Structure 1
Amino acid sequence: MDTRKNVILILASVGTFVEALDIAIINLTIPSIQEQFHIGAETVQWLQTLYVLFFGGFLIIGGKLSDQIGRKKMFLLGALIFMLTSLGAGVSQRFEVLAVFRALQGLGAALVMPSALSIVTHTFRGEQERNHAIGIFSSFAAIGSGSGLSVGGIISTYLSWHWVFLINVPVLFITLILSCYYLPADEKNETSQKTDAVSGILMVLGLLSLTYGTHELVHIKEQPFFVIGSLAAALILLIMVFYRLRSVAQPLIDLKLFRHRSLVISNAAFFMLGAFFIGFLFLISLMLQKDMGYSAASAGLMLVPFSIISALTAKFILPYISKRLSSSRMGIFGWLFMLTGGLLLLTSVYTGHPLTVVLLGAACISGVGMTFCFTALSVMGIQDAEPSNYGVASSLTSTSYFLGAGIGLSFMTLMSQVFPSEFAVGSLNLIILIGYAVLALGMLLYFILRSLQGKRREIAVS
């Protein structure tokens, strides 16, 4: 790879690193935010839910605009929105204002992620070169997610929770300046057709209604109208999205994309990955602080090695494994680490939370498993799509990830309220995580078996 290509890859990767970092970074700041605004865990959780739902809900629009208007334009616009909303969140003095800026952060992230990946896939054209570049790009997202906990804990203790947002501003400012110069100009032949924004907005509203209804199911006796109404509204809105995609001339998502089994399985596994990993980030912060009595800084420092492990895995082990395993097999490899980590965390609940077992479980998940899973599923999601649909295909997988994150976190909160535990993190929470891993492994094994059957048929016919 030449120097200019390397710079382009780094700039695109920095954009996705910051956005992934912001998913995790807030978790260890939750106690200090609760203390300042005098709110409960079920309220502060909306800071995470709003971010991932706006991120996931608008990703399809971001991917479509990236394909139609231009990759560079959307990357710069998204990064600018993310920088300004990070500044707004960092100086917020009311929880409602913070929540609004947090949601708008997700919107900015939704514009950056697909355009950044599209920039990478169009810059690196050879199959091996492209897969290697996507691997590096995806590993930055995994490293950002893994390092967010440690960075958030240290910042919130020695500075304040405001700085977990303000730290984005200088990083993105420098990225914007360099991107203006180094990113390749958008091709003149890129279409300027209208994007089906109505479908995207209906989808976001439907997902928000579904998440709210899931989150508030525990209060259905007290508020039956709002809970049932939100679930019914979600169903109606999502049905409207489906029929609109089938009927409009230029749909937000071409439903023909779902002919590719690799894309369907990748999206389903990404849904489980979002539910698993975002749930893990939320639970590990509670476990270390509430159940084990560590400060945010101590918890953050204990998780620093896993950020390093993730980076080393991405640098030295991931390229070796990716050359020898297909994306689906590498996904299974990563999910086995996630499953092992979940089992270790569950074991720790029954053995008095020994620190070694807890940290070993966290290492399997955030240090190794996430790096392989995110990279493998990202490659798998676009491997059979046409180049003109890379933006939409990549945003579909990311949408599935964040949809899983939002709904999975709300479901876990619901289960915690229905079946309370003596610990902040009960065994039921971890059993749910393990269930996500088992489902993902089952889907990937199914894909491999169907692929092998298809190859045998081709050989028999020939």
Structure 2
Amino acid sequence: MSSDSSTVTATADAGTPTGSPGGRHLGFALVVIAAAQLMLILDATITNIALPSIQTDLGVSDANLAWVVNAYALTFGGLLLLGGRAGDLYGRRRVFRVGIAVFTLASLLGGLAPNEGLLILARVLQGVGAALAAPSALALITTTFPAGHQRNRAMGVYAAMGGLGATVGLLLGGILTDALDWRWVFFVNIPIGVAILTGTRMLVEAGRHPGHLDIPGTATGTGGLLALVYGITRGGEQGWTDSLTLVSFSSAAVLLLVFLIVQQRAVHPTMPLHLFSNRTRSGSYATMLFVGAGMIAFFYFLTLYMQLILGYSAIKTGFAYLPFSIGMATAAGVSSKLVTHVAPRVVAAPGLLVAAAGMFWFTTLAPDSSYPAHLMPAMFVTALGLGMSFVPMTLGAVHSVAHQETGIASALLNTAQQIGGALGLAVLSTLSTNAADDRLPNAAATLYQGLATRNQILIAKAGDALTHGYTMAFAATAVMFLAALAVTTTAIDMKKQQHAEGTTVVHMS
């Protein structure tokens, strides 16, 4: 598309809200959407620190313990496209309410679960609710907030919640587990969910759009994504040549190929393929794939380092992430203002470079590294860089999308982050384990043996080997952020300028 024929206003870009609430009500609406996004994202990490308590209380096996985390990620990532399409067809606010209700009830079930089976089922249902609510939350911003400053501000807050959710989950999980009981990592969602449902009357419903759910597309697309994420997860745990891993990847390849064929022929496709014809949107999705891969792995390995190597408690580990939350919130607020004056890639590219620099800083960790002199500043720098990238990617994902397709467009951004996270964690876990075991065979088992017997020699040797593995993972994460930088600078080409009347005009080349 040539630049001289591709000027569209942001209002046309994502739809003009009709009947938007004004003044104070817009503030309430923003609180509702931000709270929902925060709740849905933090549940991806809030259970991590509680896992030892869950295992002890319910007698969960080592093999099944990972599913307390993976069941949510698999269902969330696999059903996001369905959730986005359902919002477009049946009304974003309506589907948002259903998703929050399902998520809240599933949280109650998880908190009351008497065994591992019901707990994992609750996590699956939480993923279903999140997949319905998350894409509608972003789409509701375009129907509730007028284009320009108010919508950009709302996008900034939304993006900040996405970045903060993981760290808030770690912090809250540590506090609730140590101060109360692991079940409260689920119970805490109930009052939040009820409050969100009460506040949804402040959101503007754009109405239903013509069309039908693409059942064959939904089945093959969701099945393919579930098989892909499961294969990635299992590959990281059991090895890439494991028979079930290979079957999962083969099934994913077949199902996703059939999905693409179905989408080409469907009258009302689940994922309109023309969404990828715009290189800014495609670039935003690809960038988020790399960012999601690196960010989830960063949390995972840094948490292990602080707990296993430095000996931090659950609550101390949670509080240790505060600099990351502060850096993310600060950068997201600044970037939401910058994108109204400069091209989004001018904001995102330096941010990704700074994030990569922060990750290279983490590669210098040693078993006795200081938190105030090493971890805290490196964490803050990484957060500043990532925070600068979230708002531009969020805007790029829904840019120049027809009003009736904003839900599926935003779902693709969330899907990219979830799939990227699963891929990154699986690949980097294998890399880290191999690096540690090359230095000391069975390094993790040796550390646990040393801790159990209070053998300081074993603890020191294992700690050195594991730290080496973690730093290798941090180096690979830095490379992922650099890959995201390369995509941003070459693919994203969205320019903005402010007109006197306050309408943001977007030029696509």
Q: Same fold (TM over 0.5)?
A: yes
**1:25-104 mapped onto 2 (5 Å cutoff):** 25-37=46-58, 43-104=64-125
Deviations 1:270-323 (A, max 9, x none): 1111111111121121111011111011111222343344334444x3344333
Q: Is the 8 A contact 1:147 1:306 kept in 2?
A: no
Instruction: Give the structure 2 partner of residue 338 of structure 1.
Output: 355
Q: Of the candidates 102, 111, 118, which is equivalent to residue 139 of structure 2?
A: 118
Q: Of the candidates 310, 313, 335, which is equivalent to residue 318 of structure 1?
A: 335
Q: Of the candidates 295, 306, 311, which is equivalent to residue 288 of structure 1?
A: 306
Instruction: Give the structure 2 partner of residue 398 of structure 1.
Output: 414
The offset of 1:168, in angstroms, is 0.6
Q: Within the alignment, does 1:354 sit opposite 2:370 as a pair?
A: yes
What letter is aligned with 1:430? F
Q: Is the 8 A contact 2:144 2:203 kept in 1?
A: no
Deviations 1:309-352 (A, max 9, x none): 4334444x334433343222222132123212211211114x74
The offset of 1:404, in angstroms, is 0.6
Instruction: Give the structure 2 partner of residue 457 of structure 1.
Output: none
Q: Is the 8 A contact 1:4 1:182 kept in 2?
A: yes
**Which structure 1 residue ranges, 4+ long, deviate > 6 Å from structure 2?**
218-223
Instruction: Give the structure 2 partner of residue 373 of structure 1.
Output: 389
The structure that is helix-richer by fraction is 1
Distance 2:235 2:205 in 1: 49
Deviations 1:189-227 (A, max 9, x none): x23522114323322322232233334447878985423
Distance 1:212 1:299 in 2: 28
Distance 1:246 1:222 in 2: 32
Distance 1:268 1:24 in 2: 23
Distance 2:72 2:220 in 1: 17
Q: Is the 8 A contact 2:221 2:256 kept in 1?
A: yes
Q: Within the alignment, does 1:423 sit opposite 2:440 as a pair?
A: no
What letter is aligned with 1:407? L
Instruction: Give the structure 2 partner of residue 307 of structure 1.
Output: 325
Q: Flag the 1:129–1:303 CA change in 2: closer, same or farther, 3 A.
A: same
Instruction: Give the structure 2 partner of residue 382 of structure 1.
Output: 398
Q: Of the candidates 175, 181, 206, which is equivalent to residue 196 of structure 2?
A: 175
Instruction: Give the structure 2 partner of residue 434 of structure 1.
Output: 478
Instruction: Give the structure 1 partner of residue 446 of structure 2.
Output: none
Superposition RMSD in Å: 2.5
Instruction: Give the structure 1 partner of residue 4 of structure 2.
Output: none
Instruction: Give the structure 2 partner of residue 227 of structure 1.
Output: 245
SS of 2:365 mapped into structure 1:
helix
SS of 1:195 mapped into structure 2:
coil
Distance 2:240 2:75 in 1: 28
The offset of 1:143, in angstroms, is 2.3
What letter is aligned with 2:107? S
Q: Is the 8 A contact 2:344 2:494 kept in 1?
A: no
What letter is aligned with 2:466? F
Instruction: Give the structure 2 partner of residue 2 of structure 1.
Output: 23
Q: Is the 8 A contact 1:114 1:391 kept in 2?
A: yes
Deviations 1:166-197 (A, max 9, x none): 10100111111222x3233453xx23522114
Percent pairwise identity:
26
The offset of 1:437, in angstroms, is 0.6
Distance 1:218 1:117 in 2: 32
What letter is aligned with 1:299? T
Q: Is the 8 A contact 2:99 2:132 kept in 1?
A: yes
Q: Is the 8 A contact 2:292 2:416 kept in 1?
A: yes
Instruction: Give the structure 2 partner of residue 249 of structure 1.
Output: 267
Deviates more, 1:100-109 or 1:77-86: 100-109
Distance 2:168 2:276 in 1: 34
Distance 1:288 1:222 in 2: 28
Deviations 1:130-183 (A, max 9, x none): 22221222222222233222121111111122111110100111111222x323
Distance 1:123 1:147 in 2: 26
The offset of 1:77, in angstroms, is 0.2
Q: Within the alignment, does 1:195 sit opposite 2:220 as a pair?
A: no
Q: Is the 8 A contact 1:143 1:371 kept in 2?
A: no
Q: Flag the 1:451–1:73 CA change in 2: closer, same or farther, 3 A.
A: closer
Instruction: Give the structure 2 partner of residue 456 of structure 1.
Output: none
Question: Normalization by structure 2: what TM-score?
Answer: 0.81
User: How many residues are aligned here?
Assistant: 445
Q: Is the 8 A contact 2:34 2:158 kept in 1?
A: yes
Distance 2:347 2:240 in 1: 47
Distance 1:133 1:217 in 2: 39
Structure 1: segments with no counterpart, 5+ residues: 453-462
SS of 2:369 mapped into structure 1:
coil
Deviations 1:345-399 (A, max 9, x none): 11114x7432231222222334x23332222210111122222221111111111
Q: Is the 8 A contact 2:87 2:95 kept in 1?
A: yes
Structure 2: segments with no counterpart, 5+ residues: 1-21, 438-464, 496-509
**Which is higher, the Rg of structure 1 or of structure 2?**
2
Distance 1:149 1:281 in 2: 9
SS of 2:94 mapped into structure 1:
helix
Distance 2:134 2:484 in 1: 23
Q: Of the candidates 181, 206, 209, which is equivalent to residue 160 of structure 1?
A: 181
Distance 1:152 1:5 in 2: 31
Q: Of the candidates 296, 319, 341, which is equivalent to residue 278 of structure 1?
A: 296
Question: Normalization by structure 1: what TM-score?
Answer: 0.89
